């Protein structure tokens, strides 16, 4: 069963903040986050390997709540370059098989 991402889409003005959530009904052992721009391949953002872990670089960070089986991606002071579709992927029983969310489309307007 795939993780549920919310919201499905969000439109922001440049400089605003966004939070994208990824919830799973199955136990996850790690969570990946990727961004895909239109016509391009997904690009790896970060991986969270254990509950309670938080990571970030630049103004993009993420957290993983293992008890709630939920991960959140935080985009602070969004830039035009942040536009794209964000996917979370969760690793459950199989380390190699990520179960992917349907994606959250983020549009940043000037």
Residues between 19 and 48 with contacts to other proteins, criterion CB under 8 A: 30, 32, 34, 40-47
Please choose, out of 51-59, 62-70, 71-79, 95-103, the segment that lies near other proteins by the rule CB under 8 A.
95-103
Cis-peptide into 7, omega within 30 deg: yes
Q: Which is nearer to other proteins, 74 or 100 (CB)?
A: 100
Task: Say how many C-beta atoms besides its own lie within 10 A of residue 39's C-beta.
Answer: 5
Q: Which is nearer to other proteins, 16 or 21 (CB)?
A: 21
CA 104 – CA 87 distance, rounded (Å): 7
- Residues 106 and 18: beta-carbon distance below 8 Å: yes
Please choose, out of 14-22, 53-61, 63-71, 83-91, the segment that lies near other proteins by the rule CB under 8 A.
83-91
Q: DSSP letter at 82?
A: G
CA 107 – CA 91 distance, rounded (Å): 27
Partners of 81 in the beta sheet? none
Q: Which is nearer to other proteins, 8 or 79 (CB)?
A: 8
Q: Which is nearer to other proteins, 15 or 44 (CB)?
A: 44
Residues between 51 and 80 with contacts to other proteins, criterion CB under 8 A: none
Instruction: Work out which of 10, 20, 70, 89 binds other proteins, going by CB under 8 A.
Output: 89
């Amino acid at each position: 069963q795939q993780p549920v991402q919310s919201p499905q889409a969000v439109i922001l003005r440049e400089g605003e903040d966004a939070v994208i959530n990824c919830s799973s009904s199955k136990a996850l052992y790690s969570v990946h986050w990727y961004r895909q721009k239109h016509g391009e391949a997904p690009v790896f953002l970060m991986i969270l390997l254990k509950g309670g872990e938080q990571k970030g670089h630049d103004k993009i960070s993420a957290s993983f709540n293992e008890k709630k089986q939920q991960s959140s991606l935080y985009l602070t002071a969004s830039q035009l370059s942040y536009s794209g579709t964000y996917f979370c992927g969760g690793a459950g029983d199989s380390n190699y098989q990520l179960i992917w969310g349907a994606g959250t489309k983020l549009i940043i307007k000037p």
